Amino acid sequence: MLRVKPFGIYIHWPFCLSKCPYCDFNSHAVAQVDHRRWRAALLAELDHFATETPGRRPGSIFFGGGTPSLMEPDTIAALIEAARGHWSCLPDLEVTMEANPTSVEAGRFQAFRAAGVNRLSLGIQALDDEALRFLGRRHSATEALTALELARTTFERISFDLIYARPGQTPAQWQDELARALVLAGNHLSLYQLTIEDGTAFSHQTIAIPEDDDAVALFETTQAMTEAAGLPAYEISNHARPGSECRHNLTYWQGGDWLGIGPGAHGRLNGEAMTQERSPGDWLTNVERHGHATATREKLDPAARQEELVMMGLRLATGLGPELLAEAADVLDPRGLTRMIEAGFVIHDASGLRATPSGRLLLNAVLAELLI
Ligand SMILES: C[S@@+](CC[C@H](N)C(=O)[O-])C[C@H]1O[C@@H](n2cnc3c(N)ncnc32)[C@H](O)[C@@H]1O
Ligand code: SF4
């Protein structure tokens, strides 16, 4: 049977109320945004790429950021409507929005739902106020819980993000926080270990994140507790009840195609990798002049495409199925593969190639062994 290649649409909103000290996403705190211009430009870039992708069937739209919950609901509605006009979307189109749990944004959940958002991913990050202050968040734990409750009654599907392995966080504290999170969780949770990214405010401070062994212990606790609660990891940092995985992100991890609209967005289309201009101001003027702001666009050579399939596929608990594995076979080193199987880091059988939980934890080192 012919597999229909998944296809998704990513729309990037690059603005936030303030910049969190750990964040290296393309996100900027600005005093004012000209919503009318931004709406017209996002719609223009969507139109531009629609002409290149006739007949594709989007299964997902993902509003990411930045803080897309600061977008005007009318803009969200116009973009969803435009996508539905350009393409014949799958009947169960997944429309996700990342949102911050401040009261300003929660006040607009109903309008986002009416605009067509059916999945909300809430950036809660921590369940206690001291940790939230450390992470530079603008919401309190109480505000987060209120927003979560409202999200639960507004959207069909919800998820929330937490950041763990924070400085000084003991395993007992994380277990307690995760236990509370699992009681609050719907069918999906994203649990990220704090990483100190170059160029962020945290990278200029002395931030003592847990040593490797402690980080491994925290990760293992996370795997065990989420699994026991029926929300096993389906990807390194993402947990879901089976069937509630984020379809949009699966497109990235399973070698699908997607359009990336907005500043700094990446896309993959018909064997090409592309990026949009990263600076919000330059992106806006480029789109206004040319109808799009594509900064780079290149054909992925077969080896690069295959390496990407392995790197992305092994993030998933299910790994690469037989079809993707066959497509990626040329970049796998048979001796490295044997070593990784013997070390217990990967499994190769009739369902394909997948990393074990310990292999997923050391994925970069495992990939260095596996790839030619
Ligand atoms: C694009 S950001 C979130 C969007 C939204 N503005 C928010 O703050 O909730 C996606 C998620 O990545 C995670 N994240 C970002 N930077 C991180 C870092 N340095 N370490 C760990 N997790 C990080 C956070 O959990 C965040 O919610
Ligand atoms: S974590 Fe979210 S709110 Fe904070 S700067 Fe990054 S994108 Fe903006």
Strand ordering across the sheet containing 60-65: 233-235, 238-240, 188-193, 157-164, 119-125, 94-99, 60-65, 7-13, 257-261, 266-269, 272-276, 294-299
Of 265, 192, 187, 195, nearest to 235 by C-alpha is 192
**CA–centroid distance, residue 192 to ligand 1 (Å):** 8
Whether the predicted pLDDT of 238 surpasses 70: yes
Q: Say if domain 7-253 classifies as CATH 3.20.20.70.
A: yes
Residue 298: what pLDDT? Answer: 96
Q: How many CA atoms lie within 13 A of 288 on its CB side?
A: 11
CATH-assigned architecture of domain 302-370: Orthogonal Bundle (1.10)
Q: What are phi and psi of 159, to 5 degrees?
A: -145, 160
Nearest-atom number in ligand 1 for the CA of 101 is: 9
**Average pLDDT for residues 32-40, to the nearest whole number?**
97
Tokens 């202050």 found at = 133
Q: What is the pLDDT of residue 209?
A: 87
**Arithmetic mean of pLDDT, 108-135:** 97
What is the mean predicted confidence (pLDDT) over 189-194? 97
Q: Is 266 exposed, middle or buried (0-12, 13-18, 19+ CB in 10 A)?
A: middle
Res 3 pLDDT > 60: no
Q: With bands split at pLDDT 50, 70 and 90, how would you rate the model's confidence at 41?
A: very high
Mutate to test the pocket of ligand 1, among 20, 138, 192, 209 (most ligand atoms within 8 A of CB): 192
Give the bridge partners for 296, in sequence order: 275
For residue 8, say if its preceding peptide bond is cis, omega within 30 degrees of 0: no
Percent with pLDDT over 70 in the chain: 99
pLDDT at 27: 97
Atom of ligand 2 nearest to the CA of 100: 3
Question: pLDDT band at 194, cuts 50/70/90?
Answer: very high
Distance 82 CA to ligand 1 centre (A): 28
- pLDDT at site 300: 93
Question: Is 105 or 114 the better-scoring residue by pLDDT?
Answer: 114
Q: Looking at the CA of 69, which ligand is closest?
A: 1
Please tell me the predicted confidence (pLDDT) of residue 358: 86
Ligand nearest to the CA of 62: 1
Confidence class for position 355, pLDDT limits 50, 70, 90: very high
Residue nearest to atom 9 of ligand 1 (CA): 123
Residue nearest to atom 2 of ligand 2 (CA): 66
Pocket-forming residues, ligand 2, beta carbon under 6 Å:
16, 19-20, 23, 25, 27, 65-67, 100, 123
Distance from C-alpha of 141 to C-alpha of 76, rounded to nearest angstrom: 27
Cβ(240)–Cβ(231) under 8 Å?
yes
d(C-alpha 227, C-alpha 241), whole Å = 9
Segment 296-345, tens digit of pLDDT:
999 999 999 999 999 999 999 999 999 999 999 999 999 999 999 999 99
Mean pLDDT of the chain: 95
Q: So where are the chain's domains?
A: 7-253, 302-370
Whether 7 and 57 have beta carbons less than 8 Å apart is answered as yes
Report the share of the chain in percent with pLDDT over 90: 92
List all residues whose CB is within 6 A of at least one atom of ligand 1: 16, 22-23, 25, 64-65, 67, 98, 100, 123, 125, 161, 163, 192, 194-195, 197
- The single residue listed with the structure tokens 């699908």 is 256
Say whether pLDDT at 5 is over 90.
no
- Cα(191) to ligand 2 centroid in Å equals 16
Instruction: Give the residue, by CA position, lying nearest to ligand 1 atom 13.
Output: 192
What ligand is nearest to the CA atom of residue 100? 1
Inform me whether the pLDDT recorded for 104 exceeds 80. Answer: no
CA angle 343, 348, 350 (to 5 degrees): 155
CA dist., res. 348 & res. 354, Å (int): 7
